[in-house]
Amino acid sequence: MNPDVYQAAAASALTTNDYVLEWIAENAQRCQPDAIEWCDGSEAEKRRLTDRAVEQGVLIPLNQKKRPGCYLHRSDANDVARVEHLTFICTPTKEEAGPTNHWMAPTEAYAKLATLLEGSMRGRTMYVVPYVMGPLGSPFSKIGIELTDSVYVALSMRIMTRMGKQALDLLGDSNDFSRGVHSMLDVNPDRRFICHFPEDNTVWSVGSNYGGNVLLGKKCLALRLGSYLGRRENWMAEHMLILGVESPEGQTTYVAAAFPSACGKTNFAMLIPPRRFQGWRIWTVGDDIAWMRVGADGKLWAINPEAGYFGVAPGTGPQSNPTALRLVERDTIFTNVAMTEDGDVWWEGLTDRPPSGLTDWHGHKYDPASGKPAAHPNSRFCAPATNNPFLSKRINDPEGVPISALVFGGRRATTIPLVLQSFNWIHGVYMGATMGSETTAAATGKVGVVRRDPMAMLPFCGYNMGDYFCHWLEMRARIPYPPKIFMVNWFRKGPTGSFVWPGYGDNMRVLKWIVDRVLGSVGGRETPVGWVPREGDLDLSGMSIASEDFMEATAVRPEEWKEEIRLQGEFFRTLDPYMPRALELQRELLMSAVEMGAPDGRGRTP
Ligand code: OXD
Ligand code: MN
């Protein structure tokens, strides 16, 4: 590397921290950038980087009258999603990564990626992006620095995290920061690796420029490294939204919920209560990630470590998420959506029919007759949380919010009722450990195959899934006043194949039952697999749902459950020999309870 480059970077450094400076020098030596630029997080810097990105064709300005401060990015067509098969947990032993993660030995991974990074930033700028995950000064928060050769990443990190000089000021002389190195290389799937080194609090990501692979604060630090650190430090990093339910009397109850990717987490986090619920408000704390710790009061407290939303655009429309439409009105970076003739954005689900004259996500004229979508199905918006009109006032509270209920959800056409309350913590952990979603015909060719995704963490747990379950079980002893645990399913279908529950805003009715159960102010029906609401327990006023549909939505059928519990056992076997015994015993207990209630002669009625 030209020594002047490093000299210039050292002279303009935003810190005197030797650990940081040495680490940057080492990586600059390896990657050989033409320039090194420290990101301070200022408005002037945002303007400068945005202008540069536009000049380079990385960002396309949208209609600034309609969408002030908004830009479109088109990614390489081979680089549009997270790549689980190229994502590695690099722990000293394979066993520590466990059966659900791809593993590479740390020495091998470092060597392989160092070779790829050699000279990778020649002709490019290395951006030094310091950031904080979590509210500034919070005991939950973590500091990270990402070195990246992507101006798109630098600008997106500015939205998604508390990015800038304040991170370095908070770090001071400490060595306690997460080290992220990212180079796009030539954006080639053959040279794409996302490697996590939990023991070194380090992530190296090469060959991609797609959000989940390269915004290293998000999935990489906040979930994979975070879950590893959480286990070591007795806290929890979870793939959960956090919302506050405020009653007309002004009492707010906080709920955290896990759903597999693309199952409507962002929509649920921004739910608008139906008209009947006048005076009720849902406040968004977070839409994707929760960091949770036991507070001095013995409750479980949570923060959202992020500062923005990286949401899936398709399917976001006036019915599914009117709030999201408001938050992408300005200062948003869109990726791989379609563009209208007048420089606005469009995606499937925004309106019933595509407007004429669209440009598709590749940048070509869109032909609706092609049968292909105009926006990529995983196209995204990246918007600051402060754009959300229903952002919780507690978003920057260093203590976070107290969680009263944990909710697990999935997309299931049968078996799983609209809402089910667990009997206790172990049973709740069991619900999370067995949650899953049915694949659709379009995705796999096989309908109704349940892909298990424990706690929605399958792609995000930074260590052995069996140990992760143990951590959940062990947390119970550390939480004197634990949240109640529930399971929901908005997607159950009736005999005619149509959904029995309308979903969207009406999910408020389920949320209210959950809150009332926490407060002990509503009843329910005990079934062998948990508590469900009876018809009068759920506020159904102001909606039209046939009584049969409600019965169907909340039905617990022994025959379906016997099969379900058998399949849950099959899933557990794939995690052997790491499965905690408590969950297998819970499984057997549920099976015998279901069999006792089953009208097939095998079980007896107790
Ligand atoms: C996400 C995901 O992008 O879960 O949040 O895939
Ligand atoms: Mn997610």
Q: Which of 242, 508, 288, 273 is nearest to 392 (CA)?
A: 242
Sheet strands (E) in 198-288: 202-206, 236-238, 241-246, 252-258, 281-286
Helices (H), 423-528: 425-434, 441-444, 465-478, 507-519
Using the atom order of ligand 1, give the atom closest to the CA of residue 312.
3
CB atoms within 10 A of CB 63: 15
| Model pLDDT, residue 544 | 87
Helix or strand holding residue 71 (H, E): strand 71-73
Give the Cα separation of 1 and 94 in Å (integer): 36
Using the atom order of ligand 1, give the atom closest to the CA of residue 260.
4
Instruction: Give the residue ranges of the chain where pLDDT is below 70.
Output: 1, 440-448, 598-606
| Cα-to-centroid distance, 588 and ligand 2 (Å) | 32
Q: Which residue has the tokens 């990105």?
A: 53
Compute the Cα dihedral for 393, 394, 395, 398 and give only its sign: positive
Q: By alpha-carbon position, which residue is closest to atom 1 of ligand 1?
A: 261
288 CB near ligand 1 (under 6 Å): yes
194: three-class secondary structure by DSSP? strand
Sheet strands (E) in 325-421: 333-335, 338-339, 345-346, 380-384, 401-409, 419-421
What is the residue-wise DSSP string for 89-150?
A: E--SSHHHH-TTSEE--HHHHHHHHHHHHTTTTTTSEEEEEEEEESSTT-TT-EEEEEEES-
| Cα-to-centroid distance, 440 and ligand 2 (Å) | 19
For 457, list phi and psi in degrees, rounded to 5: -110, 5
212 CB near ligand 1 (under 6 Å): yes
Q: Which ligand is nearest the CA of 212, by number?
A: 1
| Cα-to-centroid distance, 238 and ligand 2 (Å) | 10
Which amino acid, one-letter code, is at 414? Answer: T
Pocket test for ligand 1, best of 80, 82, 267 (most atoms within 8 A of CB): 82
Please state the length of the chain: 606
Using the atom order of ligand 1, give the atom closest to the CA of residue 261.
4
Q: Which ligand is nearest the CA of 81, by number?
A: 1
CB 30 within 8 A of CB 114: yes
Please write down the long-range contacts of 530-536, taking CB distance under 8 Å and 24 or more positions apart. Answer: 530/420, 530/421, 530/422, 530/423, 530/427, 530/431, 530/487, 530/556, 531/420, 531/421, 531/423, 532/417, 532/418, 532/419, 532/420, 532/421, 532/556, 533/418, 533/419
Choosing among 2.170.8.10, 2.40.50.1020, 3.10.580.20, 3.30.565.10, the CATH entry for 308-387 is: 2.170.8.10
| Model pLDDT, residue 440 | 60
What would the CATH number be for the domain defined by 3-56+83-234?
3.40.449.10
CB atoms within 10 A of CB 5: 18
Q: By alpha-carbon position, which residue is closest to atom 2 of ligand 1?
A: 261
Q: What is the CA angle 199-583-224, rounded to 5?
A: 25
- Is 70 catalytic? The answer is no
Peptide bond into 577 cis (omega under 30): yes
What's the chain's Rg over C-alpha atoms? 24
Helix or strand holding residue 556 (H, E): none
Using the atom order of ligand 1, give the atom closest to the CA of residue 288.
5
| Cα-to-centroid distance, 289 and ligand 1 (Å) | 10
261 CB near ligand 1 (under 6 Å): yes
Pocket test for ligand 1, best of 87, 210, 219 (most atoms within 8 A of CB): 219
CB 288 within 8 A of CB 520: no
Q: By alpha-carbon position, which residue is closest to atom 3 of ligand 1?
A: 212
| Model pLDDT, residue 404 | 98
Strand pairing of 484-488 and 401-409?
Answer: parallel
| Cα-to-centroid distance, 180 and ligand 1 (Å) | 19
| Model pLDDT, residue 550 | 94
| Cα-to-centroid distance, 345 and ligand 1 (Å) | 21
Q: Which residue has the tokens 């969207």?
A: 504
Pocket test for ligand 1, best of 208, 240, 261, 460 (most atoms within 8 A of CB): 261
Helix or strand holding residue 487 (H, E): strand 484-488
Let me know if the fold of 3-56+83-234 is the same as that of 238-306+395-555: no
HEC readout, 11-66: HCCCCCCHHHHHHHHHHHHHHCCCEEEECCCCHHHHHHHHHHHHHCCCCEECCCCC
Whole-prediction pTM value? Answer: 0.96
| Model pLDDT, residue 446 | 62
What would the CATH number be for the domain defined by 238-306+395-555?
3.90.228.20
Compute the Cα dihedral for 80, 83, 86, 91 and give only its sign: positive
Q: Sheet harboring 60-61: ordered strands across?
A: 60-61, 71-73, 333-335, 380-384, 308-312
CB 375 within 8 A of CB 341: no
Q: Using a pLDDT cut of 70, give the percent of the chain over it.
A: 97
Q: Which residue has the tokens 């209208």?
A: 340
Using the atom order of ligand 1, give the atom closest to the CA of residue 456.
4
Helix or strand holding residue 567 (H, E): helix 558-574
Tokens of 432: 């999370």
Give tens-digit pLDDT for 361-410.
999 999 999 999 999 999 999 999 999 999 999 999 999 999 999 999 99
Residues β-bridged to residue 61: 71
Q: Which ligand is nearest the CA of 459, by number?
A: 1
Q: Which ligand is nearest the CA of 240, by number?
A: 2
Q: By alpha-carbon position, which residue is closest to atom 6 of ligand 1?
A: 261
CB 207 within 8 A of CB 425: no
| Cα-to-centroid distance, 263 and ligand 1 (Å) | 10
542: three-class secondary structure by DSSP? coil
| Inter-axis angle of helices 581-597 and 465-478, nearest 10 | 80
All structural domains of the chain with their residue ranges: 3-56+83-234, 238-306+395-555, 308-387
| Cα-to-centroid distance, 312 and ligand 1 (Å) | 8
Q: By alpha-carbon position, which residue is closest to atom 4 of ligand 1?
A: 261
Q: Which of 220, 263, 382, 461 is catalytic?
A: 263
Pocket test for ligand 1, best of 160, 288, 335, 453 (most atoms within 8 A of CB): 288
